[in-house]
Amino acid sequence: MRQNSHGIIRALRRVEKNSTQETNEKKGGSGNFISFLALIISIVALYFQFFYYHYDLNASFISGGYENDSLRLHIIYHNKGNQDGTILKAEVWYFSDSNVERPKNHLGFRSKLNDPVILPPGSQEFHIISEPTDFKIFDFEKNNTNPFDTLRIQLQFRYLNDYNLLSEKEEIVGWVTLDSNKQVDYYSLSFKNIILETDTYISETYRSK
Q: Do residues 58 and 196 make contact, with C-beta atoms less than 8 angstroms apart?
A: yes
pTM > 0.85: yes or no: no
Does residue 23 or residue 63 have the better pLDDT? 63
Burial class (CB within 10 angstroms; exposed 0-12, middle 13-18, buried 19+) of 71: buried
The H or E element containing residue 17 is helix 2-50
Q: Do residues 194 and 78 make contact, with C-beta atoms less than 8 angstroms apart?
A: no
User: How far lies 181's CA from each of 107, 141, 151, in Å?
Assistant: 17, 16, 15
Q: How many helices (H) and strands (E) does the chain have?
A: 1, 10
Percent of the chain with pLDDT over 90: 35
Does residue 113 or residue 118 have the better pLDDT? 118
Q: Is beta strand 151-160 parallel, antiparallel or unpaired with respect to 166-178? A: antiparallel
The Cβ of residue 162 has, within 10 Å, a number of other Cβ atoms equal to 17
Angstrom distance (rounded) from CA 153 to CA 114: 19
Does residue 192 or residue 137 have the better pLDDT? 192
Q: Which of 6-10, 52-56, 80-84 is modeled with the greatest confidence?
A: 80-84
Percent of the chain with pLDDT over 70: 70
pLDDT of 10 higher than 70: no
The values of phi and psi at residue 2, to 5°, are -70, -40
Side chain identity at 138, as an amino acid letter? Answer: F
Counting Cα atoms < 13 Å in the Cβ hemisphere of 5 gives 2
pLDDT at site 38: 78
CB environment 56-67: b (16+ within 10 A), e (fewer) = bbbbbbeebebe
pLDDT tens digit string along 91-109? 898 888 776 565 556 787 7
From its phi and psi, is residue 182 left (phi > 0), alpha (psi between -120 and 50) or beta? left
Mean of pLDDT over the chain:
79
pLDDT tens digit string along 174-189? 999 999 999 999 999 9
The Cβ of residue 2 has, within 10 Å, a number of other Cβ atoms equal to 6
pLDDT tens digit string along 148-173? 889 999 999 999 988 888 999 999 99
pLDDT at site 144: 77
pLDDT at site 2: 47
